[in-house]
């Protein structure tokens, strides 16, 4: 292990990197602890990682620098960027406005029926941009934006452009609003959106159709079923289904399975309080799952217990997600720690007094869920989620010898249980530095702050909450 941290990400090194055209860049990180999250590669101490253009070209010891810009990464951990599988990004200017919300009904009434209907396209842009920049700051390099407040095509465009403006690897999951007036352009407008913004398979942004599990909250038009499944198939895109919980969703899952509407291209979100039969159908069909550990526990969705044990029992390794910043933390460290603690508490509690050994997940498990499994859930496993040569260079440089991390003893434990955004020295997405020397790049914070405050003040003034 490295005992002495180095000046890994100085402005001079960034200048040297950015002087070269992006497609001809070569960056060599040397002497780091590589937490690759690739089962075949494992964790490498005192190792190097070579970035060429937008790709990870090689990992190993003593790599030849050639003409690469060399970054001395001693005393740091290199890890894959985190993958957020579900966040309602437009809500970020309303962060923690209801930190002690009591239940789903309270959230729905206040946020979706109260604040959402007054949003303008510029509010969508501001909120989505703020969420994505904050994600980058905390090490999330891929963000699925479950964008369910697009009241006009202009709202959709603003959300997509807000995501694109940050350089994050983004998934725009498009759904119509729950309540209030909107022009009913969805899902028909998805064809225009795809043709305008998602023409290439090799770009930072991808498109998904978003839906709800049942018609209980917002009526039948937003509920996943044969018609929306056909729309997604025709467009060649995946589906993300929110509000999957309880008996009604369990029945819906069995209906989807019976009609061939489940599969690896369908992600079911939350999945709290589902029946064993529903989980069996999901596992048998290779359905992906996005857990929202703090959302389930804090807001109290159905059983309020994140469904990690149920997912693993069904053979599903889920991704993790943030959900709603109106009430919750916005970083992946919180999700990992919450899930790690809650699952282990449940396991020990269930075994207590029985003589059975508890079946506990590990820090490696939750880091796998936050990286590689999140990428798989977002249909991006071949692109990101691990430090595998041939994948895109989405990675974090984490200072392992900062005050709160020193001394480095267990790299995965340090990432999951020790670190937070302040320890992330650098973030690369697609080989491009997005955070460097501890600061998010290419953003005027004072201007953004003014924009966020103006949007928040407008929404609070115009809403009927």
CATH number for the domain harbouring residue 181: 3.20.20.140
Segment holding 244, helix H or strand E: strand 238-245
The boundaries of the domain holding residue 57 are: 11-80+386-440
Q: What is the pLDDT of residue 2?
A: 44
Nearest CA among 392, 421, 389, 423 for reference residue 408: 423
Instruction: Tell me the C-alpha distance between 44 and 101, whole Å.
Output: 43
Whether residue 5 lies inside any domain: the answer is no
Check whether residue 70 and residue 138 sit in a common domain: no
Check whether residue 64 and residue 91 sit in a common domain: no
Q: What is the pLDDT of residue 219?
A: 86
Whether residue 452 lies inside any domain: the answer is no
Asked if residue 3 has pLDDT above 70, the reply is no
Task: Quote the crossing angle between the two packed helices 121-137 and 445-462, to the nearest 10°.
Answer: 130
Q: What is the pLDDT of residue 5?
A: 56
Nearest CA among 226, 224, 228 for reference residue 188: 228
Q: How many domains does the chain have?
A: 2
Check whether residue 350 and residue 424 sit in a common domain: no
Whether residue 365 lies inside any domain: the answer is yes
Whether residue 413 lies inside any domain: the answer is yes
Question: What's the mean per-residue pLDDT of the chain?
Answer: 96
Tokens at 16, concatenated: 């040297």
Whether residue 447 lies inside any domain: the answer is no
At which of 355, 377, 399 does a domain end? 377
Asked if residue 218 has pLDDT above 90, the reply is no
At which of 377, 399, 431 does a domain end? 377
Token look-up 């020193």 returns 406
Please, which residues have CB within 8 angstroms of residue 454's CB and are 6 or more apart in sequence?
none
Q: What is the pLDDT of residues 55-82, one digit of tens each?
A: 999 999 999 999 999 999 999 999 999 9
Residues 270 and 244 sit within 8 Å (Cβ to Cβ): yes
Instruction: Tell me the C-alpha distance between 445 and 46, whole Å.
Output: 36
Check whether residue 90 and residue 70 sit in a common domain: no
Q: What is the pLDDT of residue 6?
A: 61
Check whether residue 152 and residue 256 sit in a common domain: yes
Nearest CA among 263, 269, 166, 264 for reference residue 214: 269
Asked if residue 408 has pLDDT above 70, the reply is yes
Check whether residue 159 and residue 259 sit in a common domain: yes
State the pLDDT confidence band at 10, using cuts at 50, 70 and 90.
confident
Percent of the chain scoring above 90 in pLDDT: 95
Q: Classify 111 as helix, strand or coil.
A: helix
Check whether residue 239 and residue 370 sit in a common domain: yes
Please, which residues have CB within 8 angstroms of residue 336's CB and are 6 or more apart in sequence?
320, 363, 366, 367, 369, 370, 416
Q: What is the pLDDT of residue 437?
A: 96
State the pLDDT confidence band at 464, using cuts at 50, 70 and 90.
confident
Whether residue 411 lies inside any domain: the answer is yes
How many other β-carbons are positioned within 10 Å of the β-carbon of residue 216? 13
Whether residue 445 lies inside any domain: the answer is no
Q: What is the pLDDT of residues 73-114, one digit of tens each?
A: 999 999 999 999 999 999 999 999 999 999 999 999 999 999
Q: What is the pLDDT of residue 297?
A: 96
Residues 81 and 136 sit within 8 Å (Cβ to Cβ): no
Check whether residue 416 and residue 346 sit in a common domain: no
Check whether residue 264 and residue 340 sit in a common domain: yes
Check whether residue 334 and residue 299 sit in a common domain: yes
Check whether residue 348 and residue 314 sit in a common domain: yes
CATH number for the domain harbouring residue 62: 2.30.40.10
State the pLDDT confidence band at 1, using cuts at 50, 70 and 90.
very low
Check whether residue 210 and residue 161 sit in a common domain: yes
The stretch 321-348 carries a mean pLDDT of 98
Nearest-5° Cα angle at 86, 370 to 114 = 145
Whether residue 450 lies inside any domain: the answer is no
- For the whole model, what pTM was predicted? 0.97
């Amino acid at each position: 292990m490295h005992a002495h941290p180095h000046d890994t990400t100085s402005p001079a090194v960034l200048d040297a990197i950015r002087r070269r055209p992006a497609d001809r860049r070569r960056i060599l990180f040397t002497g780091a602890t590589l937490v690759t999250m690739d089962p075949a590669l494992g964790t490498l101490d005192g190792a190097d990682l070579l970035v060429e253009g937008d790709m990870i070209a090689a990992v190993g010891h003593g790599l030849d620098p050639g003409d690469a810009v060399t970054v001395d990464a001693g005393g740091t951990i290199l890890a894959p960027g985190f993958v957020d599988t579900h966040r309602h990004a437009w809500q970020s200017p309303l962060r923690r406005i209801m930190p002690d919300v009591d239940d789903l009904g309270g959230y729905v009434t206040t946020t979706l029926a109260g604040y959402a209907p007054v949003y303008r396209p510029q509010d969508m842009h501001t909120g989505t941009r703020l969420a994505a920049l904050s994600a980058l700051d905390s090490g999330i390099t891929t963000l699925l934006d479950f964008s369910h407040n697009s009241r006009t095509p202009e709202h959709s465009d603003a959300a997509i452009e807000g995501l694109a403006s940050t350089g994050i690897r983004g998934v725009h999951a498009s759904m119509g609003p729950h309540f209030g007036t909107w022009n009913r352009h969805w899902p028909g407008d998805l064809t225009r959106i795809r043709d305008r913004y998602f023409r290439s398979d090799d770009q930072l942004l991808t498109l998904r159709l978003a839906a709800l599990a049942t018609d209980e909250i917002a009526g039948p038009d937003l509920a996943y079923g044969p018609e929306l499944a056909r729309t997604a198939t025709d467009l060649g895109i995946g589906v993300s289904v929110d509000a999957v919980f309880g008996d009604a969703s369990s029945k819906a899952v069995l209906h989807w399975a019976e009609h061939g509407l489940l599969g690896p291209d369908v992600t079911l979100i939350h999945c709290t309080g589902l029946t064993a039969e529903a989980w069996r159908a999901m596992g048998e069909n290779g359905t992906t799952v996005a857990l929202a550990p703090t959302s389930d526990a804090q807001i109290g969705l159905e059983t309020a217990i994140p469904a990690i044990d149920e997912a693993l029992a069904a053979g599903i390794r889920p991704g993790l997600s943030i959900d709603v910043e109106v009430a919750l933390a916005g970083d992946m460290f919180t999700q990992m720690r919450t899930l790690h603690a809650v699952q282990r508490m449940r396991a020990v509690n269930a075994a207590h007094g029985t003589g059975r050994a508890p079946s506990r997940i590990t820090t490696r498990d939750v880091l796998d869920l936050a990286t590689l499994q999140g990428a798989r859930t977002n249909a991006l496993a071949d692109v990101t989620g691990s430090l595998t040569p041939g994948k895109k260079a989405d990675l974090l440089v984490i200072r392992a010898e900062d005050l709160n991390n020193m001394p480095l003893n267990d790299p995965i434990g340090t990432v999951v249980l020790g670190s937070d955004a302040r320890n992330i020295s650098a973030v690369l997405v697609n080989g491009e530095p997005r955070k460097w020397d501890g600061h998010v790049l290419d953003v005027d914070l004072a201007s953004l702050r003014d924009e966020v405050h103006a949007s928040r003040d407008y929404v609070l003034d115009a809403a009927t909450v």
